[in-house]
Amino acid sequence: MPVKSSFFPKQALQGEDLPSHMMWSDLAFDCIKINHSKTLAFKEVYNVSDKDITVKEGLILINKVEVDGYLGIVYSSRILPAKASDEKIEYSFLLQSDVVESLTFSVHLFRPDIVVHNVPHEMSVNLVSEKISPKISVKNLGEGTAVVDIETTAESEAQKHHPQFFETFIQELIEGIKSSVSRLKDDFKQYSALLDKLEIYLTKPFRFEDESLKMFEKFEDELSSALEENEQFAKGLVELLAGTILRSAGFSNVYQFVLDYVNSIRKEKILLRDPFNVISLVGKPVILRVKIVCIDLLKQKCEPIELPPISVSSEQSGEIALFKLFQWGED
Amino acid sequence: MELGAISKIFKTTEIIDRILLDSRVFDIKSKDFQLKSVEGIMVYSVVVAPKVSLESGRMISFDGIDLRRISIFSSPGFSEETGSISRIEKGLVKSFAIDPRKISENAGELNLKFELECEVERVVNDLVRKDHQIESVGEESNTYWLHAQFKELSNLQRLLRRMDLLDIPFIVNVAVHQDVKTKFPARRQHELELIAKWARELDRTRKNVLSFEHLQLKSARPREKDITKLLCDLQDLFLPHRFRSFIDVIEDFYYSDCFRGADFYDQIPFRTFPKWMSVLCRTDLSIERPASEGELLYKKASFLEAVEEAITKK
């Protein structure tokens, strides 16, 4: 086989970059023709000079490579109307218009697909038994993970907030994180600027908004490179911060912590960002207005879903975790 | 030629070449580069041939060059010429010097290895495109593809005989959240909720009610594993040596290490258990092999069995 090695991803999130390569030996050709689905777009080419490549919609023609035996191409994919799609790509090596070698690949592109059913006009909550009826049904019909944030809008009478017992913990946690980051900065001076950004993200959670997500993605890339480069830093960071969080928790919150972990993971690959947040109920109906915002694992925002107003009533006064008003997936 | 950070390395190696040639003792025969990611160095190997008697040579000093070490191997015996290298320290500044007179009399060609301090991450980013799968779909196991390729080849090939990039790091976040959740029974979740409420309850009557509820729950299943022991056993699964058994990394990549992953978009980035495990994989690239592909296989079914065992087995 003249083609010694070839690569194209089999699966990817919609919006993910798709790298590919071909390596060959003893292969005579005067053109490499690549037919690809219009869902994919050419992004970068390696080992080909600009004058030797022609890019059209769904078609790439390469006259020659700089160093014989290697071609690298990166494609970009985009979010599609369909929640999953299989796309094909075909590489053909041509010599005087005859195909001398050809390879076909297929990639499964998927994404999360959050849908909301059964939004009631009225909802009744028993704060003692935590019986809620009827619940709002949220499903992820896609194969991708959705990180979901439930926001109460400005018009909502009930606003989400931390439960009282959590406030002290959060304050201690923020102080603990600041002191841990400062210790890390002493040990890893070269990552000082990065650790400053980390402290901001850990102590002031950001909203799922385009600009913040872009900045967060950039920060995560920088952090990931630093962790890859320096294993000591990776382990130091993880251990010190995990330790800080557990220390801040104290005995009374350790079980709450585990509970939050379990609560934050829902079926159908739904991850809740803040399962501990609550709304307060005061013994009479309050209007709740919420917006479901979600991102995929590439930090791409899904279309926010704003729900119609819901009148939430309870005979008791107290707090209820906001996520409990929903039925997540097939739970 | 857009080679970024490696241009700095080339400038340093040009200085080394100049020092060697100015000594009038050696002729340079060939040059190789080898980036060692784990050690954080670029090894610049120069094969030289003595053009005059080594006895007539003078001390060759490499002042002002950020070197970690120098080693010399002589042919035909491939013996290390340790006696010919001296390390000079002036305060905080260190440098190296080679004394040709101390090299073995019968030495033929010499391989001089200069270990240069190197910003590995920047060199790799300038030369290599790195990609890996962000999320995987699969019932029994999840595979994550890994891919590395040279961005620039022709200029490197023109300038160098050999360039090896060794142990290029990749961190892949392997999702474990659904697997822990699937096996965590609803009644144990209810028990956690009761204990958490009990722990923060200050009213004696309500605390007693919660204690009673907890006792009722426990007496309904007296042989069930203690919740604290369950949580400890579950925690053990995320220790690197345990989690490693659920991971296979397939060539051209290899497994290097793993640790708990963080969710920095969560308000609590490290919960009691991780949602992701970060697996550090590595691969090599060279001018002769400009691309590498591999797979990380997460043995989901085995991990689910281990989670179930941690939850149920006493």
Q: What ipTM was estimated for this complex?
A: 0.88
Q: Which segment of A245-254, A302-311, B235-244, B288-297 scores lowest on mean pLDDT?
A: A245-254
Q: What is the pLDDT of residues B168-193, one digit of tens each?
A: 999 999 999 999 888 888 888 888 88
Q: What's the whole-number mean pLDDT along residues A134-142?
A: 94
Q: Per the CB < 8 Å rule, is B264 touching A198?
A: yes
List of chain A residues whose C-beta atoms are within 8 Å of the C-beta of residue B278? 227, 234, 238
Contact A219/B192 with Cβ under 8 angstroms?
Answer: no
Cα–Cα distance for residue pair B293/B253, rounded to 1 Å: 7
Q: Per the CB < 8 Å rule, is A23 touching B147?
A: no
Q: Does A275 touch chain B (CB under 8 A)?
A: no
> Mind spelling out the 3-state secondary structure of chain B?
CCCCHHHHHHHHHHHHHHHHHHCCCEEEEEEEEEEECCCCEEEEEEEEEECCCHHHCCCEECCCCCEEEEEEEECCCCEECHHHEEEEEECCEEEEEECHHHCCCCCCCEEEEEEEECCHHHHHHHHEEEEECCCCCCCCCEEEEEEEEECCCHHHHHHCCEEEEEEEEEEEEEECHHHHHHHCCHHHHHHHHHHHHHHHCCCHHHHHHHHHHHHHHHHHCCCCCCHHHHHHHHHHCCCHHHHHHHEEEECCEEEEEEEECCCCCCCCCCCCCCCEEEEEEEEEEECCCCEEEEEEEECHHHHHHHHHHHHHCC
Of B270, B278, B289, the CB nearest to A245: B270
Of B150, B170, B259, the CB nearest to A234: B259
Q: Is the pLDDT of residue A330 over 70?
A: no
Of A202, A258, A299, the CB nearest to B272: A258
Which chain A residue lies closest to B234 (C-alpha atoms)? A258
Q: What is the pLDDT of residue B269?
A: 61
Q: What is the pLDDT of residue A77?
A: 96
Chain A: give the shortest CA distance to residue B53, in Å: 41
List of chain B residues whose C-beta atoms are within 8 Å of the C-beta of residue A110? 137
Strand partners, B89: B94
Q: What is the pLDDT of residues A262-290, one digit of tens each?
A: 888 888 899 998 888 899 998 889 999 99
For A65, A67, A73, B64, B171, the CA distances from A48, given in Å and listed in that order, are 5, 8, 10, 39, 29
* Residues contacting A165, CB < 8 A, separation 6+: A252, A253, A256, B200
Chain A: give the shortest CA distance to residue B27, in Å: 29
Percent of chain A with pLDDT over 70: 97
Q: Does A220 touch chain B (CB under 8 A)?
A: yes
Q: Per the CB < 8 Å rule, is A144 touching B135?
A: yes
Q: What's the whole-number mean pLDDT along residues B231-245?
A: 92
Cα–Cα distance for residue pair A70/A74, rounded to 1 Å: 14
Q: What is the pLDDT of residue A248?
A: 66
Q: Does A271 touch chain B (CB under 8 A)?
A: yes
Q: What is the pLDDT of residues A31-62, one digit of tens each?
A: 999 999 999 999 999 999 999 999 999 999 99
Which chain A residue lies closest to B290 (C-alpha atoms)? A70
Q: What's the whole-number mean pLDDT along residues B7-20?
A: 90
Q: Does A257 touch chain B (CB under 8 A)?
A: yes
Q: What's the whole-number mean pLDDT along residues B5-14?
A: 86
Q: What's the whole-number mean pLDDT along residues A97-122?
A: 94
Percent of chain A with pLDDT over 90: 59
Q: What is the pLDDT of residue B64?
A: 83
Q: What's the whole-number mean pLDDT along residues A185-197?
A: 88
Of B40, B192, B269, the CB nearest to A258: B192
Q: Does A187 touch chain B (CB under 8 A)?
A: no
- What confidence tier does A230 reach under pLDDT thresholds 50, 70, 90? confident
For A86, B144, B151, B199, the CA distances from A89, given in Å and listed in that order, are 10, 20, 22, 59
Q: pTM of this prediction?
A: 0.89
Q: Does A238 touch chain B (CB under 8 A)?
A: yes
A3-110 domain in CATH 3.40.50.720?
no
Percent of chain B with pLDDT over 70: 96
Cα–Cα distance for residue pair B67/B73, rounded to 1 Å: 17
Average pLDDT of chain A to the nearest whole number = 89
**Sign of the C-alpha dihedral computed for residues A11, A17, A18 and A24 taken in this order:** negative
Q: What is the pLDDT of residue B164?
A: 93
Q: Does A188 touch chain B (CB under 8 A)?
A: no
Q: Per the CB < 8 Å rule, is B135 touching A9?
A: no
Q: Is the pLDDT of residue B165 over 90?
A: yes
- Taking alpha carbons only, the member of B170, B189, B309 closest to residue B237 is B309
List of chain A residues whose C-beta atoms are within 8 Å of the C-beta of residue B266? 264, 273-274
Dmax over CA atoms of chain A, in Å, equals 83
Q: Does A205 touch chain B (CB under 8 A)?
A: yes
Number of Cβ pairs closer than 8 Å across A and B? 191
List of chain A residues whose C-beta atoms are within 8 Å of the C-beta of residue B146? none
List of chain B residues whose C-beta atoms are within 8 Å of the C-beta of residue A204? none
Q: Is the pLDDT of residue A331 over 60?
A: no
Q: Is the pLDDT of residue B83 over 80?
A: yes
Cα–Cα distance for residue pair B132/B245, rounded to 1 Å: 21
Q: What is the pLDDT of residue A124?
A: 94
Q: Is the pLDDT of residue A253 over 90?
A: no
Structure tokens at A31: 């053109």
Of B171, B257, B268, the CB nearest to A224: B171
Q: Per the CB < 8 Å rule, is A273 touching B265?
A: yes
* Residues contacting B142, CB < 8 A, separation 6+: B136, B174, B175, B297, B298, B300
Taking the CB of residue B247, how many other CB atoms lie within 10 A of it?
Answer: 18
Q: Per the CB < 8 Å rule, is B154 touching A47?
A: yes
Q: What is the pLDDT of residue B116?
A: 92
List of chain A residues whose C-beta atoms are within 8 Å of the C-beta of residue B259? 234-235, 238
Name the residue ranges covered by the structural domains of chain A. Answer: 3-110, 114-328
Chain A: give the shortest CA distance to residue B5, in Å: 15
Q: Does A274 touch chain B (CB under 8 A)?
A: yes
The residue to which tokens 């600027």 are assigned: A193
Chain A: give the shortest CA distance to residue B131, in Å: 7
- What confidence tier does A65 reach under pLDDT thresholds 50, 70, 90? very high
Q: Per the CB < 8 Å rule, is A245 touching B269?
A: yes
Cα–Cα distance for residue pair B193/B217, rounded to 1 Å: 12
8-state DSSP, A120:
-
Cα–Cα distance for residue pair A279/A153, rounded to 1 Å: 13
Q: Does A12 touch chain B (CB under 8 A)?
A: yes
Q: What is the pLDDT of residue A250?
A: 61
Chain B: give the shortest CA distance to residue A162, in Å: 11
Q: What's the whole-number mean pLDDT along residues A246-259?
A: 70
- What confidence tier does B243 reach under pLDDT thresholds 50, 70, 90? very high
Cα–Cα distance for residue pair A283/A158, rounded to 1 Å: 12
Count of positions (residues) in chain B:
314
User: Chain centroid to CA B85: how far?
Assistant: 31
- What confidence tier does B1 reach under pLDDT thresholds 50, 70, 90? very low
Contact B169/B131 with Cβ under 8 angstroms?
Answer: no
